[in-house]
Amino acid sequence: MAGRDSNTARKGRSLGPASRQLNWAATLAAKGPGALQPQHLHFRRQPQGRKTLHLVLLDQSASMLRGQKLAWAKGCVLALSTLFYRRRDAMAVLGFAGEQAQWLQKPGKAGLFNEHWIAPLRGGGATPIQSAIDAVQDTVRRAPAGTQVAVWLLTDGRFDPLPQRPRGVDDCYIIDFEDGAVALGRCHRLAELWGGTCVPAAQWGAPTAG
């Protein structure tokens, strides 16, 4: 599904050192049999000078408290923030649980040393996924023209119905934390609906203490 701008490089346009669109074949080859780490991620090339904003959506609902899923997800947020800092990208983190989504970190340049605010995050309550999607769309509307927007949804998919893909988003990545005895497969279905990529959380990082 196309975003606000085409990702295709046109003739005569120079390409930057790396794209913000993940190349999963190269990434998984670099990962090997171990856990996925930021240094394993490979990106496709993109036009030089294009800014990227990563919107990380963290599911903090009650179902994420089972089996240390929320702790694992916080570890993923920490790893992503380090990666985005190294790439000089912008990022924001949006938590959703209970009645509505709320900003845990508003859009801005990614920084280091984020564990002090990530580790204490707690969870519980319902899964207001639509509130998170609405916040994403509002952020996309406010983003400067030409900004590449990527959404990273960290969830176990325990919500119904599945939301529509946020309008104006260029890339979607869903990190799947489902671990129940009866798999619902909603994260995979959502990735298909959004035209995105679904990655099992078991391939990624380690839990964050707290």
3-class SS string, the chain: CCCCCCCCCCCCCCECCCCCEECHHHHHHHHCCCCECHHHCCEECCECCCCEEEEEEEECCHHHHHHHHHHHHHHHHHHHHHHHHHCCCEEEEEEEECCEEEEEEEEEECCCCCHHHHCCCCCCCCCCHHHHHHHHHHHHHHCCCCCEEEEEEEECCCCCCCCCCCCCCCEEEEEECCCCCCCCCHHHHHHHHHCCEEEEHHHECCCCCC
Rounded Cα distance, 173 and 119, in Å: 22
The whole-chain average pLDDT of the chain stands at: 82
CATH among 3.40.50.410, 3.20.20.450, 3.30.1490.190, 3.40.920.10 for 53-203: 3.40.50.410
pLDDT tens per residue across all 210 residues of the chain: 334 443 333 233 332 333 346 665 566 555 665 666 656 666 665 555 678 999 999 999 999 999 889 999 999 999 899 889 988 999 999 999 999 999 999 999 998 888 999 999 999 999 999 999 999 999 999 999 989 999 999 999 999 999 999 999 999 999 999 987 778 899 999 999 999 999 888 776 555 545
Question: What pTM, to 2 d.p., does this model score?
Answer: 0.79
